Chain A
């Protein structure tokens, strides 16, 4: 009796640990992976990517001797975040399709920050030549490992290197940082939203007060203020205070219920144009609009939300403040393969196409020609520097 109960309990425990380990995509079972590289995780990940894209013929990639083995480490939200992780992996996939990255290129998804180092160790063991780290909170791990692994080329997205001990700015010959002047595009989105709003109240919320999140909120708010200046209107933005550098944050990128009630709270104050910043927590704002039956629009971030996000929300997106991570990742890998790679920070701007505004899709009919023209003019003016807003400094 006792033995049997222990047995059942043991099986259940083992199964649950197995499931937990699987969901973290190998970051927890690093030790086993080091014994048998490529056997545990690599097939798994290649399988995952075959689902949604056309991967190159293995033979073609094998023949191409110049391809580098690119390895992508996602942030804790994982590669299927319909946001910047997905976009970065698309960049690697494009590199694989064109043969500059080998077909053995992989990604790993650490479930939490404490697993970041384990993922890098695994990449080093598997002989990755080019490691891409995605997300602001990779800064310290990337700096530490780039110092230790001089033979590997690193591309870091959304952060600028700083010394792990002194936090002083740091430049390394083997690291390229991809950062985005997102607020340039968000500024135009804020102007557009201010022009579209019927209530004169715009709003925003974020998952956490990180620079890469708040830059959207800040640009958006300043854009609405610019609209007020030009038109003499009194449009307000709830959820961000540029002077205080603080606003509304759910404090979690997974708590959908909390995001939903945050959005509810903003709509109760009359907001009808919302830009939620933070992957999946953007979507509850769409549920709130549908549920409350109000005439309001969502503004997306990162990848064109009309395509990237669930189709059930597609008609709600006014536009998206795009951050074209994929192209820049592909460039970094191709330049590495071609030998023309250079370290340093690359800033995505309106001018170089790193950031931009997505099409209006279902809202296209509702944007007046006048406003459409003004937004296009504004984008051009920001690009050539005629309009100089207090953009947040990124890069160096």
Chain B
């Protein structure tokens, strides 16, 4: 009798609130709290007479001195109202599919309010921050794409960091000795070579892929540091490969805000965007993509229908290495024009994380890269604006934002089913 009542009650409560509905309630309450926070801290935290000035054009742009001047308190109040409105909508729980979208929009609005607060009584280059966001996202996105190419065929690639570093190093030396284009090609080939090493260890010899990747990373850091100290010190002329300058696309490059962000960049930025589209199309609309995904999800079934599992894996892991090589070339042939020990400083691992919270999707990887790039750019602008927040804390900002976004907006993500498992043909 009691058991029946208990069961009934559980059933009823289950009927009343599915996990999505419970989540929506939590998110809705959080958004209302966030709105109050925005209004109280960022809205009332500035003088009522303060204005924040956002520069929307870069120095020397065709349409110069486009500025957006705004009453700081008023803007934050409006943003708080919008966030509260979104929170209310989420709490009604009628459009459950849009919970995450509302959360993402609210976080972006909070960031804008935060900037308004930091820039109260001052001005700063908003478009500059957005340009930096795009540039800073490139190595992360390329790293994530590299990892994605491998993991879609069930080979875990921890060695992105090592591939980036080695190809940056080789690109520098070859670029200095020959010319920058040959350096670029060398960087991509070295990425492919390290990809091949990983592939052989993982596919041919069934070595634990995580350990193989870690070994490649240690090897890359040790070898490049050693050679940098011995070779580049003795022959500094090998450490100036020149640089791929930015190439503006006519007309589009002059559009305010969008122009400098997407159409007045160097070729690596364009290449990254094209790669994202190509890989997405390739994975989901071509025979190659279907085969790759089947090898990653269920290699035995793929083998049964005649797909060469090992060949597919080799090809994709090597291609992944090429993409990491492109990222390495970006670091020393475009961002800066010289190599420095350990100059990747962990960006490959951030790329790995970006792949995971981009849910193993090319556009997800790009979005994740942009979130990280935005957080870094935000950190830099806050430093320039001179907020009371200590610089040590600002350095943590990109990682904190990443964690919040991963935990809050992305939720659960699922790797390819066979990820990390070697395939042994029976």
Q: Which of B106-114, B199-207, B305-313 contacts A (4 or more CB under 8 A)?
A: B199-207
- Given the known inter-chain contacts A9-B205, A16-B215, A258-B376, please indicate yes or no for A294 contacting B233, CB distance below 8 A: no
Q: Is A33 in contact with chain B by the CB < 8 A criterion?
A: no
Min Cβ gap A371→B in Å is: 24
A264 and B132 contacting across the interface, CB-CB below 8 Å: yes
Chain A stretch 78-122: residues in CB contact (< 8 A) with chain B: 78, 80, 109, 111
Instruction: Say whether A80 contacts B384, CB under 8 Å.
Output: no
Q: Does B70 contact A (CB under 8 A)?
A: no
- B residues less than 8 Å from A312 (CB atoms): 240, 337-338
Alpha-carbon gap, A258 to B344, bound state (A) = 9
Given A12-B215, A23-B229, A78-B341, residue A268 in contact with residue B335 (CB < 8 A)? no
Closest chain B residue to A51, Cβ basis: B234
Count of A-B contacts with CB under 8 A?
175
Q: Is the C-beta of B182 less than 8 angstroms from some C-beta in chain A?
A: no
B8 near A: Cβ within 8 Å? Answer: no
**Contact (Cβ within 8 A) B215 A80:** no
Choice from B215, B218, B384 contacting A265 with Cβ under 8 Å? B384
Contact B340 A256 (CB under 8 A): yes
Tell me if A230 counts as interface (CB < 8 A to partner B).
no
B343 touches A287 (CB 8 A): no
B203-237 vs A, CB cutoff 8 Å, 1 = contact: the mask equals 01111000010011011011101100110011010
Q: How far is the CA of A140 from the CA of B399 in the complex (A)?
A: 30
Q: Does B246 contact A (CB under 8 A)?
A: yes
Contact assessment for A287 and B336 in the assembled complex, using a CB-CB cutoff below 8 Å? yes
Q: Among A17, A239, A260, point to the contact of B384 (Cβ < 8 A).
A: A239
Residues of A within 8 A of B341 (CB): 23, 78, 254
Known contacts: A246-B390, A261-B132, A310-B239. The answer to whether A51 contacts B125 by CB under 8 A is no
- The answer to whether A291 touches B243 (Cβ under 8 A) is yes
> Within the complex, what minimum Cβ distance (angstroms) separates A31 from chain B?
18
Report if B395 contacts A (CB, 8 A).
Answer: yes
Is B187 an interface residue when CB atoms closer than 8 A count as contact?
A: no
- Tell whether, in the assembled complex, residue B59 and residue A252 are in contact, meaning their CB atoms are under 8 Å apart: no
Known: A17-B222, A23-B222, A248-B391. A257 touches B336 (CB 8 A): yes
Contacts of B58 in A (CB 8 A): 268
Q: Which of B226, B230, B332, B392 contacts A209 (CB 8 A)?
A: B392
A168 contacts the other chain (Cβ, under 8 Å)? Answer: no
Contact of B381 among A25, A111, A265 (CB under 8 A): A265
Give the contacting residue for B395; candidates A23, A251, A256; CB below 8 A: A251
Q: Which residue of B lies closest to A9 (CB)?
A: B207
Residues of A within 8 A of B331 (CB): 256-257
User: Would you call A264 and B345 a contact (CB within 8 A)?
Assistant: no
User: Provided the pairs A8-B205, A9-B201, A257-B331 are in contact, do residues A264 and B226 lie with their beta carbons within 8 angstroms?
Assistant: no
In A6-46, which residues have CB < 8 Å from any B CB? 8-9, 12-13, 15-25
Which A residues are CB-close (under 8 A) to B215? 9, 12-13, 16
Inter-chain contact B226/A255, CB cutoff 8 Å: no
- Of the candidates A24, A247, A257, A266, the one whose C-beta lies within 8 Å of that of B347 is A257
Tell whether A72 is near chain B: CB-to-CB under 8 Å.
no
Indicate if the CB atoms of A241 and B386 lie closer than 8 Å: yes
A249 contacts the other chain (Cβ, under 8 Å)?
yes
Q: Give the one of A16, A247, A249 with max B CB within 10 A.
A: A16
How far is B188's CA from A315's CA once the two chains are assembled, in angstroms? 32
Grouping DSSP codes into helix (H, G, I), strand (E, B) and loop, the B interface class, with mixed when no group exceeds half, is: helix
The interface residues of chain A lying within 8 Å CB-to-CB of B121 are none
Judging by beta carbons under 8 Å apart, are A265 and B132 in contact?
yes
B240 touches A310 (CB 8 A): yes
Q: Is the CB of B218 within 8 A of A246?
A: no
B411 within 8 A of A: no
Q: Is A269 an interface residue (CB 8 A)?
A: yes
Interface set, chain B 306-326, CB cutoff 8 A to A: none
A5 touches B391 (CB 8 A): no
Interface string of B228-265 (1 = CB under 8 A from A): 01100110100110010110000000000000000000
The residues in A between 138 and 181 inclusive whose CB is less than 8 angstroms from any CB of B are: none
* Cβ contact within 8 Å between A256 and B377: no
A320 within 8 A of B: no
Judging by beta carbons under 8 Å apart, are B384 and A238 in contact?
yes
Interface check A284, CB cutoff 8 A: yes
Q: A247-B383, A283-B336 in contact; A269/B128 too (CB < 8 A)?
A: yes
Chain B residues with Cβ under 8 A from A21's Cβ? 222
Asked whether A262 is an interface residue with its Cβ less than 8 Å from the other chain, the reply is: yes
What distance in Å separates the Cβ of B286 from its nearest Cβ neighbour in chain A?
A: 33
Give the distance in Å from the alpha carbon of A241 to the alpha carbon of B225 in the complex.
35
A239 near B380 with CB under 8 A, answer: no
Residues of B within 8 A of A292 (CB): 60
Give every chain B residue within 8 A of A377 (Cβ-Cβ): none
Interface size counted on chain A using CB atoms at 8 A: 65
Flag whether B19 is at the interface (Cβ < 8 A): no
Distance, CA A27 to CA B120, complexed state (A): 50
| B139 within 8 Å of A (CB atoms) | yes
A311 within 8 A of B: yes
Please give, as numbers and ranges, the residues of chain A lying within 8 Å of B229 by CB-CB distance: 23, 25, 78, 80, 109
Residues of A within 8 A of B125 (CB): 265, 268-269
Interface contact B240-A246, CB-CB below 8 Å: no
Q: Which residues of A contact B222 (CB under 8 A)?
A: 16-23
Given A261-B136, A268-B59, A16:B124 Cβ within 8 A: no
Contacting pair B206 A257 (CB below 8 A):
no
How many angstroms between the C-alpha atoms of A284 and B58 in the bound complex? 19
The answer for the CA separation of A291 and B267 in the assembled complex, in Å, is: 13
Cβ of B100 under 8 Å from chain A:
no
A262-B243 contact, Cβ under 8 Å, with A254-B345, A310-B236: no
User: Bound state CA distance, A18 and B219, in angstroms?
Assistant: 9
Residue of A nearest to B242 (CB): A312
Establish whether residues B376 and A261, one from each chain, have CB atoms under 8 Å apart when the complex forms. Answer: yes
* Bound Cα distance A22, B226 (Å): 6
| A244 at the binding interface (Cβ < 8 Å) | yes
Bound-complex Cα distance A120 to B234 (A): 27
Indicate if A280 sits at the interface (CB-CB under 8 A): yes
Query: Does A290 count as interface, using CB distance less than 8 angstroms?
Result: yes
Complex Cα–Cα for A51 and B40 (A): 63
Cβ of B129 within 8 Å of any chain A Cβ, yes or no, is yes
Query: Least Cβ distance of A314 to chain B in Å?
Result: 11
Cα distance, A78 to B225, chains bound together (Å):
11
Inter-subunit contact A269/B233 (CB<8 Å): no
Please state if A265 and B391 are interface contacts (CB–CB under 8 Å).
no
| A291 lies within 8 A of B218 (CB) | no
Cα distance A248–B377 when bound, in Å?
12
Please tell me which one of the listed residues B335, B340, B388, B391 contacts residue A247 in the complex, with CB atoms under 8 A apart. B391
> B183: shortest Cβ distance to chain A, in Å?
15
Query: Which positions 264-294 of chain A face chain B at CB distance < 8 Å?
Result: 264-270, 280, 283-284, 287, 290-294
* Chain B residues near A48 (CB-CB < 8 A): 230, 233
Q: How far apart sit A5 and B245, CA to CA, in the bound complex (Å)?
A: 45
Q: Which 7 A-B pairs have the closest CB atoms?
A: A268-B128, A20-B222, A16-B219, A19-B222, A23-B225, A5-B205, A255-B345
Extra contacts besides A5-B207, A244-B386, A255-B344 (9): CB < 8 Å: A9-B205, A22-B226, A23-B226, A48-B233, A255-B345, A256-B343, A257-B345, A261-B380, A268-B128
Could you list 12 A-B pairs, sorted by A, with CB under 8 Å?
A: A17-B222, A20-B225, A80-B229, A239-B384, A255-B344, A256-B331, A258-B345, A261-B136, A265-B128, A268-B127, A268-B131, A269-B384
